[in-house]
Amino acid sequence: MTRTSDGLDPRRRRILYRSWHRGTREMDLLLGPFVEAEVEGLDADQLDVLEHLMDAPDQELYAWFTGAKETPEGYDTPLFKRICAFHAAGS
The more confident residue out of 76 and 91 is: 76
**What are φ and ψ of residue 88, in 5° steps?**
-65, -30
Residue 77 identity? T
pTM higher than 0.85: yes
**Residue 79's CB: how many other CB atoms inside 10 A?**
20
Q: How high is the mean pLDDT of the chain?
A: 92
Asked if pLDDT for residue 65 goes beyond 90, the answer is: yes
The Cα–Cα gap between 33 and 70 comes to 23
pLDDT over 90, % of the chain: 84
The pLDDT assigned to 23 comes to: 87
For 49, the 3-state DSSP assignment is: helix
